[in-house]
Amino acid sequence: MTEPNMDYDAIRRDGVLRVTRPETEWLSTGWSGGRCTADCAYNVSVPEGWERTDLGTYVDERLERAGFEPTAADTAGPALLTGVDIADARGARLGPVTAYATAGISNPAALPMDPEPAEAADFDGPAADESALEQGRGTVNVIVGTTRALAPGALANLIAVAAEAKAATLLAETGFPGTTTDAIIVGHDPSGSPAAFSGSGTEVGAATRACVRDAIQASLRVHYTDSDVTLPESLADAAYGVSTDDRAEVFRPELEPGADDDRVATE
């Protein structure tokens, strides 16, 4: 049995969650995302009615107020923004993986498999107004860290693994696969035991799926059960949200002239 991973510890203060592990390489899909090496990653709760657009300055102010300013030897790590109270954050650990999540569904993003645009017209949400989809409304944020050293592609793939687990969990718990502002940060230890892959069949991938599922379920439970916040039962019941009701053109790529179109044997 794999020993529990006691790294990627987190503390919360003044509406900020700080996840810490020295010299971690992070990959973020959030604001100012991409790869960086830093000791910490952050999830920052913003107040209702928040309208700041100078995100870098705002994050710096919040970290300073919370006493989480990076040291001179460390650069500021990636940060996510959420409209969910950081008190509702929950973590989960399994094997070499730790995950933290905050989950709120005030701005669901529906993806109907058989869209009917005529019905969607009855919804008055800001589907065409991208300015209304800024971070801070609801949002499901996930921070995942592993003590393994992931290959570059495996670190990127871990975002897909976490996103898949997030969508599956949210569909089961809320009926929606996500919100308009979801974001994920993944991190690994470059000096850890190497792992070339991170798919769902690997130790890291399987642990990530379990941790993301359990952390999101726990955050949803406290956010909606232990408070007066109500989970929207439909898109029309939500304060904000979108439904992707358009149909894309589906086509078959053209065969190169003279090429053989025989199918390759597959399982």
Domains and CATH numbers, the chain: 9-243 (3.60.70)
* pLDDT mean over 179-183: 94
* pLDDT mean over 177-190: 96
The pTM of this model reads: 0.89
> Quick check: 207 and 95 in contact, CB under 8 A?
yes
> Quick check: 42 and 86 in contact, CB under 8 A?
no
d(CA 38, CA 78): 8
State pLDDT tens for residues 67-98: 997 665 556 799 999 999 999 999 999 999 99
The two most distant CA atoms of the chain are separated, in Å, by: 66
Residue corresponding to tokens 């798919």: 199
Q: 265 phi and psi, to 5 degrees? A: -60, 130
Centre a 10 Å sphere on the Cβ of residue 17 and count the other Cβ atoms it contains. Answer: 26
Percentage of residues of the chain with pLDDT beyond 70: 86
The pLDDT of residue 234 is above 50: yes
* pLDDT mean over 159-187: 97
